[in-house]
Structure 1
Amino acid sequence: MKVLVTGLNGTLAPKLAALLRQQGHEVLAWQRDVLDVNNEAAGRDWLDAQGVQAVAHLAMGDAHWAGWMAWWAAQRGLPFVFTSTAMVFHHEPDGPHQVGDATTAQDDYGRGKALCEQAVRRAHPHAVVARIGWQIDLTATGNNMLRALDDWQARDGRIGASTLWRPACSFMDDTVAALAQCLRLDGASSSPHTPAGLIHLDSNAQEGWNFAQVAEALGQAAGRAWRVVPEAGYAHDQRLMPGEGQGVVLPGLGGRLGGAR
């Protein structure tokens, strides 16, 4: 199948694209320097001309772009997946956050993602909106937790890690496997295990590791000599609890980090 994956200049989307190609699908990219995301007519014509059969929207962008692409996919009965973020929730009220909780973001990024969620869900009744947390990749390339902690250690000579923060987080390969399942490229749209609607993808949801524990275990798994200093810092139970029957749940952190806490 031909799958449009937006955000291929980022970190997560290229990994999803690689997995889809391994599964035998053709991946198409949106080139913003060629096609203006705000030009709906040109965008729809291009999508039709390319024969796009599913859309995974991982790129940064506004609600207008997300909404009209979701509408285009809905009119053609095509799968549409949008990645949102744990940042749609503020630390007040605290989590863990349920699928049905009202979004409470106070910053522009979180508010923007919440608006995109609303636009996608209005436009496409069968779209999947997948909220994800901080991504982990042991190659330390791109925007991910390992790279950030490497930079933190290099800058400060230590990593001050809050014991009061339980982050939403997962390994990238687990996340992209779940997103690929959400695209329903096998045609199993009626399966009871098929994700639909708003879902939460968080490997820390059930185990509830605090950030100091995650940093310590990740440093060991990656062979880093970080100086992790537990402290009573940022306080937020940010975990994204999966909805009942959502169809896909990520493996826990313990299985990826050796269970060390």
Structure 2
Amino acid sequence: MKALVTGAQGTIGARLCEDLVRQGVEVVRWPRERVPVDDYWAMERFVREVAPDVLFHLATASRPTGRPNESWLVNYEWTSELAWICRQVGVRFVFTSTTMVFTPRAGGPFTVDSVPDAAEGYGYEKRRAEERIFQQNPEARVARLGWQIDRRPEGNTMLASLEAQARERGFVEASTRWFPACAFLDDTVRALLALVWTEPGLYLLDANERWSFHDIVRALNDTRASPWRVEPSEHFVFDQRMVDDRVVLPSLRARLPTLP
């Protein structure tokens, strides 16, 4: 098996590549510096040359280069072209979206039938990309993800954010009224790998059954040698959880046994 991966240096992409290599999969990382994301024919030639079995599209506009409308170009237009190319050349296409396609006005828990309402920013771009993917490639798999949790405080993970907040403010503020969509990074990666062989469609990857952000932060704090000072608040109110019985992720409690 051969996998082509965009966003291979990101939080999820790097771990996904590690897992693929461990399983004996040949991994090719998309070279943006050599294959521009706005040159359709260069992209199609590259995909045909690599001839992957699956393309995991995880990249976002996280490293701006100053190009006009770069976020839209990367999050929407590049996604649209890759979905179409994969359809033309017969490559399975797996795209990672986000629970941010919903705003607090919508109110979860969300299912595959919930209608996204993000009208601007990153969530809007991802929402429009989801719609476009299924127009371009009905055989695609789209996975909406929440915030990733890892034991290492690195990358764009919950633990890294909490560590930074503790350093800057001397404490961690955690809302008792926010129920975030989230999962442990290793579990998300395993689920993405499994999606390659599932039926095409939209999938929701969330391991939070019922816990508030405050609950989760306190449980993470219990695993630390040098605990943070955790301050409860009600500053963010949002049930962001996603429910999808077709995708079974280990519950957060399996990873954080002190959750209430």
Aligned mate of 1:203, from 203, 207, 214: 207
CA spacing shift, 1:223–1:121, aligned 2, 3 Å: farther
| Greater relative contact order, per chain length (Cα 8 Å cut-off, separation 6+) | 1
CA contact (8 A) 2:97 2:130 kept: yes
Displacement of 1:9 = 2.1
User: What is the aligned partner in structure 1 of residue 90 from structure 2?
Assistant: 77
User: What is the aligned partner in structure 1 of residue 78 from structure 2?
Assistant: 65
User: What is the aligned partner in structure 1 of residue 10 from structure 2?
Assistant: 10
CA spacing shift, 1:259–1:92, aligned 2, 3 Å: same
User: What is the aligned partner in structure 2 of residue 235 from structure 1?
Assistant: 237
Displacement of 1:121 = 1.3
Displacement of 1:123 = 1.3
Displacement of 1:217 = 0.3
3-state SS, counterpart of residue 163 of structure 2: helix
User: What is the aligned partner in structure 2 of residue 150 from structure 1?
Assistant: 163
Unpaired runs of 5+ residues, structure 1, are 185-193
Q: Distance in 2 between matches of 1:220 and 1:79?
A: 41
User: What is the aligned partner in structure 2 of residue 188 from structure 1?
Assistant: none
1:127 equivalenced with 2:140 (yes/no): yes
CA contact (8 A) 2:48 2:89 kept: no
Once the two structures are superposed, the pairs formed by residues 1-261 of structure 1 within 5 Å of their partners are: 1-60=1-60, 61-184=74-197, 194-204=198-208, 207-242=209-244, 244=245, 246=246, 248-261=247-260
Q: Distance in 2 between matches of 1:97 and 1:50?
A: 37
Displacement of 1:31 = 1.2
User: Structure 1 residues 150-159 or 103-112, which shifts more?
Assistant: 103-112
Runs of 4+ aligned structure 1 residues displaced above 6 Å come to none
Displacement of 1:226 = 0.6
Displacement of 1:128 = 0.8
* Matching residue's letter, 2:207: S
User: Structure 1 residues 217-226 or 88-97, which shifts more?
Assistant: 217-226
CA spacing shift, 1:34–1:76, aligned 2, 3 Å: closer
Aligned length: 247
Unpaired runs of 5+ residues, structure 2, are 61-73
Displacement of 1:195 = 4.6
> What's the TM-score once normalised by structure 1's chain length?
0.91
Give a deviation string over 1:153-196, Cα, whole Å, max 9, x none.
11111111100000000000000000011122xxxxxxxxx253
> What's the TM-score once normalised by structure 2's chain length?
0.91
CA contact (8 A) 2:5 2:28 kept: yes
CA contact (8 A) 2:222 2:258 kept: no
3-state SS, counterpart of residue 101 of structure 1: coil
Give a deviation string over 1:191-216, Cα, whole Å, max 9, x none.
xxx25300100000xx2100000000
Q: Distance in 2 between matches of 1:198 and 1:230?
A: 34
3-state SS, counterpart of residue 106 of structure 2: coil
Q: Distance in 2 between matches of 1:107 and 1:249?
A: 31
CA spacing shift, 1:180–1:222, aligned 2, 3 Å: farther
* Matching residue's letter, 1:239: R
Displacement of 1:76 = 3.0
Displacement of 1:224 = 4.0
Q: Distance in 2 between matches of 1:141 and 1:232?
A: 27
3-state SS, counterpart of residue 200 of structure 1: strand
User: Structure 1 residues 65-74 or 148-157, which shifts more?
Assistant: 65-74
* Matching residue's letter, 2:257: G
* Matching residue's letter, 2:157: N
